[in-house]
Chain A
């Protein structure tokens, strides 16, 4: 059969188009401004950038992932809201560019000997973006509001270390009973139920941000709208078009307004990762929230200077349901499955994003904690596989009598690839027959929590605050996220001890013990620790990588481009 003329024409057009597209792809990696290099960064003696190297328009365009669910700091839960709220508000403590905890509204603080009473001395002469003075009373009001059952704040979980917070949240005590006390206009005392080493870090979280009382009383649940919102951070809300953009302008009343260089920041909730990359390549944004896995190699080749990959405080792993066959009371089998996977292949070839292979739960780099490393981490993969086969047989399985198992994951291309790779490794090394089951996210969560149908399931954890304890505590007996059915009284006792311990080194040793115990019980199969991955314009400086992935705009600035024409994304927009 000979193709008709029209089909031949079509083929010709298609071939031409493909050829042309491919060719241009090689020649023009990016739009015009990419060929203009930013000028060399020059710092003054005080560590600040030399004004001569700065771009004329200090406007930053940032991708922010999804649409923020709210700009009410107390109701916010997800990362998209938090990124923006960090620009709008400042807590008693705050973070430097590298994520180090530094004084915020509080100039200094005292911690009592029993580590349960914190006294904060606030900076004087601070003001809200409305010009009103900012005092300790604002924090008293705000913490009470955050804990008020009527506010119904998700993130109020983080306030639980505060005395009486649980009772206040349960409606058993009035909010006035919350362990927060006003000593004078600029002194605030917070009493805790037990030593909480990460408490100062919690105060930098949106749940502990101050909100303006008269603002809320005047506008009610519309106080977080542009024009209404009064904030105390480096920026104020100037525009908010849902799912289009959020624009923040510099707050002249901010305590470090003089040192804040970026005048305006635009946040774009670009949900589709590929579209976000395209917006970056077209020069529309300076900073992406993420990049898609399947474009990593290409971006590495074409945007080596813009692609930024950095460790993040999250872990990816698989969990066992210990309540059911075949994994209940069968640690050898669990260990066999753990040893049979080749993490190097999983990170290099499947995840592909510079993720670090992991043999334990807590990611490295969290608040100075050095995670436990099991002995088999140092073995070669052959040794691990050999041991895996021995354990598999010891557990009563063989090539003739193979294990049949289900891996359950929530629907996602990346999870699927990972589960598929793990299944094929099990098949190859042990002869396990694996079925993959994917479920919509909330169905998956419910099945995990019920522990009746799951066998092996995808799990992961990204911490809200920089403390390894947040990874360990979900394995406590009866914890709401203990979908493993793990129950070990020694482990629980260790967690109790960690909660009471106030000497840092001792606490770290206890956490190490707990993690070691957890790994010895083979409750999970660690796979890798997360990284953050994004494209950042070479013009944009001042930010630094940190495990929390917190990047307030107030630390940033934009470099001038070489040559006369300065075409930063910001100015083209105008």
Chain B
């Protein structure tokens, strides 16, 4: 019964993905075209003959609607087309190379943030209103409020330029080059998770069933592990879906400062350069990632929270 409900839910959600994506593609396609200027505009103007050749090569001379359907047909076959800006690469190749980098950094940052964030959140909750609580939460507040474009250069200056322990930037899949970006990415998430975890833990610890568990004489660590942890972690899980999507699709700021070839810069560069195919490719990819991650979070939620059962919702 329960299995069936989840399956049916999964199926419906996946079917719902198609119209969502279509709307996304349509809006993105026309939005970027409405933006003034085109991919070949620059301070140096092109003579009309050359301009016409470029437009013809990229089918920009066709009516917009025709371009739209051409594009739809093209992505049906999984081809995002050539990039206007990075002429030697296709958008598929660029995403194929950028995403693993962003996903690795984002995944590691999420892992770090989840482990550290929940631990210090729990620690703070258990020692509520003590010096430990205040200092941990104070640092967490600092982590949220200091933007990463401040943290990142400071880390580079300290650990790369002066100490010389780590490279100042660049990318070659070595762990040394991942340390600083992962920390920078994780810091605000750690802080956020810690605050979430602390809040929900305190709430759970004050609930009746915990009081009951304690009254039964269970040792405190058992009460926490067996009874408090699971419900307390729910808000963290639901936060992790969108947070994960944001992390693994790459951060422009982090990529610029650490010179990392992730996905985030393609999005911004693509929009600024009016690189239509690149922007569209990244938007669609981004959309799919967010939808899939939210979906996974829903499933996790169902597993963790006894109050949500999909068969009942029907």
Asked if A and B bind, the verdict is: yes
A6 touches B46 (CB 8 A): no
| Interface segment out of the listed B12-20, B165-173, B231-239 | B165-173
Indicate whether B2 reaches chain A with its CB closer than 8 angstroms: no
B161/A10 in contact, CB under 8 A: no
Query: What chain A residues lie within 8 Å of B294 (beta carbons)?
Result: none
Q: Is B265 an interface residue (CB 8 A)?
A: yes
Given the interface pairs A21-B157, A278-B168, A282-B160, the reply to whether A440 lies near B272 with Cβ below 8 Å is yes
Complex Cα distance A69/B257, Å?
Answer: 20
A275 adjacent to chain B (CB < 8 Å): yes
Asked whether any CB of chain B lies closer than 8 Å to the CB of A62, the reply is: no
* CB of A170 within 8 Å of the partner chain: yes
A401 CB–B CB distance under 8 Å: no
Is B162's CB under 8 angstroms from A271's CB?
Answer: no
Does residue B7 face the partner (Cβ distance < 8 Å to A)?
no
CA separation between A149 and B41, bound complex, in Å?
18
Could you say which residues of chain A place their CB within 8 Å of the CB of B154?
21
Task: Please give me the residue from chain B that is nearest to A450 by CB atom.
Answer: B36
Which of A153, A224, A271 sits near B256, CB closer than 8 Å?
A271
Known: A271-B259, A272-B259, A440-B272. A480 touches B88 (CB 8 A): no
B-facing mask of A260-302, CB < 8 A → 1, else 0?
0000000011111011001101101000000000000000000
Closest to A281 in B: B161
Assess the B139–A10 pair: CB atoms within 8 A. yes
The reply on A352 being an interface residue by CB < 8 A is no
CA distance A531 to B161 in the complex (A): 27
The answer to whether B36 touches A268, judged by C-beta atoms less than 8 angstroms apart, is no
**Nearest CB to that of B138 among chain A residues?**
A6
A32:B40 contact, CB within 8 angstroms: no
With both chains docked as a complex, state the minimum distance between the C-beta of A276 and any C-beta of chain B, in angstroms: 8
Pairwise interchain contact A243-B168, C-beta atoms closer than 8 A:
no
Q: Mark A441-472, 1 if CB is under 8 A from B, else 0.
A: 11101110100000000001100100000000
B265 A243 Cβ-Cβ under 8 A: yes
Q: How far is the CA of A526 from the CA of B153 in the complex (A)?
A: 36
- Judge whether A5 is part of the interface by a CB distance below 8 angstroms: yes
- Contact at A242–B47, with CB atoms within 8 Å? no
B89 and A242 form a contact (CB under 8 A)? yes
In whole angstroms, what is the CA distance A445 to B45 when docked? Answer: 10
B308 within 8 A of A: no
Interface residue from A72, A153, A243, A441 paired with B50 (Cβ < 8 Å)? A153
B169 touches A166 (CB 8 A): no
Q: Which of B52-60, B64-72, B212-220, B241-249 contacts A (4 or more CB under 8 A)?
A: B52-60
Contact present for A69 and B47 (CB under 8 Å): no
- Could you tell me the distance in whole angstroms from the C-beta of B162 to the nearest C-beta in chain A? 5
Q: Is the C-beta of A1 less than 8 angstroms from some C-beta in chain B? A: no
Which of chain A's residues 30-51 have a Cβ closer than 8 Å to chain B? 30-32
Closest Cβ of chain A: how far from B110's Cβ, in Å? Answer: 23
Indicate if the CB atoms of A284 and B170 lie closer than 8 Å.
yes
Which residues from chain A contact B168 at a C-beta distance below 8 Å? 275, 278-279, 281-282, 284
Within 8 A of A (CB), among B60-105: 82, 85-89, 94, 97-98
- Nearest-CB residue, chain A, relative to B154: A21
Whether B135 lies near A32 (C-beta < 8 A) is no
Residues of chain A lying within 8 A (CB to CB) of residue B42: 77, 445
Chain B positions within 8 Å of A241 at CB level: 97, 171, 261
What are the residues of chain B within 8 A of A224 when measuring CB–CB? 88
- Which residues of chain B in 105-139 are interfacial with respect to chain A, using CB atoms and an 8 Å cutoff? 131, 134-135, 137-139
Contact (Cβ within 8 A) B54 A154: yes
**Which residues from chain A contact B171 at a C-beta distance below 8 Å?**
241, 243-244
User: B44 near A: Cβ within 8 Å?
Assistant: yes
B47, closest chain A residue (CB): A157
What is the CA–CA distance of A154 and B171 in the complex, to the nearest angstrom? 31
Number of A-B contacts (CB under 8 A): 175
Is B50's CB under 8 angstroms from A446's CB?
Answer: no
B169 touches A157 (CB 8 A): no
Are B272 and A6 closer than 8 Å at their CB atoms?
no
Q: Which residues of B contact A271 (CB under 8 A)?
A: 256, 259, 265
**Interchain CB contact (< 8 A) of A245 among B85, B170, B272:** B170
Identify which of A156, A282, A479 gathers the most chain B CB atoms within 10 Å of its CB.
A282
For residue B162, which residues in chain A have a CB less than 8 angstroms away from its CB? 24-25, 28
| Contacting pair B43 A278 (CB below 8 A) | no
A9 at the interface (CB under 8 A from B): yes
Are A154 and B50 within 8 A (Cβ)?
Answer: yes
Docked-complex contact A75 and B87, CB < 8 angstroms: yes
Assess whether A4 is interfacial by the CB under 8 Å rule.
yes
A481:B160 contact, CB within 8 angstroms = no
Contact of A31 among B85, B161, B257 (CB under 8 A): B161
Residues A442 and B274 in contact, CB atoms below 8 Å apart:
yes
Q: A21-B157, A270-B259 are in contact. Are A160 and B47 (CB under 8 A)?
A: yes
Verify if A196 is at the interface (C-beta below 8 Å from B).
no
How far is the CB of A408 from the nearest CB of chain B, in Å?
14
**Contact with A275, one of B38, B137, B169 (Cβ below 8 angstroms):** B169
CB within 8 Å of B: which A137-164 residues: 149-154, 156-157, 160
Instruction: Say yes or no: is B312 at the interface (Cβ < 8 Å to chain A).
Output: no
Residues of B contacting A75 in the complex (Cβ-Cβ under 8 angstroms): 87
B134/A6 in contact, CB under 8 A: yes
Q: Which residues of A contact B156 (CB under 8 A)?
A: 275, 278, 282
Does B267 sit within 8 A of A, measured CB to CB? no
Interface: B31 (CB within 8 A): no
Q: Which residues of A contact B164 (CB under 8 A)?
A: 31-32, 282
CB distance from A154 to the nearest CB of B (A): 6
Q: Is the CB of B134 within 8 A of A4?
A: yes
Which residue in B45, B94, B158 is a CB contact (below 8 Å) of A21?
B158
- Contact call B153/A278, Cβ cutoff below 8 A: yes
Q: How far is the CA of A150 from the CA of B40 in the complex (A)?
A: 16
Given contact pairs A72-B87, A152-B53, A442-B36, A275 touches B256 in the complex (Cβ within 8 A): yes
- Tell me whether A169 is interfacial, beta carbon within 8 Å: yes
Q: Contact: B35 with A244, CB < 8 Å?
A: no
**A477 at the binding interface (Cβ < 8 Å):** no
Tell me which of B37, B50, B153, B259 contacts A268 (CB under 8 A): B259
A505: chain B residues within 8 A (beta carbon) = none
**Minimum C-beta distance from A233 to chain B (A):** 18
Question: Contacts A5-B131, A441-B272 given: A278-B157 contact, CB under 8 Å?
Answer: yes
**Complex formed: what's the CA distance from A4 to B131 in Å?**
9
Q: How far is the CB of B278 from chain A (nearest CB, A)?
A: 12
A278 touches B169 (CB 8 A): yes
- Does any Cβ of B come within 8 Å of A71's Cβ? yes
Verify A461–B43 contact, CB threshold 8 A.
Answer: yes
- Check A67 for interface membership: any CB of B closer than 8 A: yes
Beta-carbon contact of A72 and B259 below 8 Å: no
A564 within 8 A of B: no
How distant is B287 from chain A, measured CB to nearest CB, in Å? 23
A70 beta carbon closer than 8 Å to chain B: yes
Q: With CB as the reference atom, state the residue of chain A lying closest to B136.
A: A6
User: What 4 A-B pairs come out closest when comparing CB atoms?
Assistant: A442-B37, A480-B45, A6-B134, A243-B261
Q: What are some 29 contacts across the A-B interface (CB < 8 A)?
A: A5-B135, A25-B162, A32-B164, A72-B88, A149-B53, A149-B56, A152-B53, A154-B46, A166-B47, A166-B49, A169-B53, A171-B53, A221-B88, A242-B261, A243-B171, A245-B170, A271-B259, A271-B265, A275-B168, A275-B257, A282-B160, A282-B161, A284-B167, A441-B37, A442-B35, A446-B36, A460-B43, A464-B44, A481-B43
With A156-B50, A169-B47, A443-B35 given, name 9 new contacts (CB 8 A). A9-B138, A10-B138, A28-B162, A70-B87, A153-B50, A242-B89, A271-B256, A446-B37, A481-B45
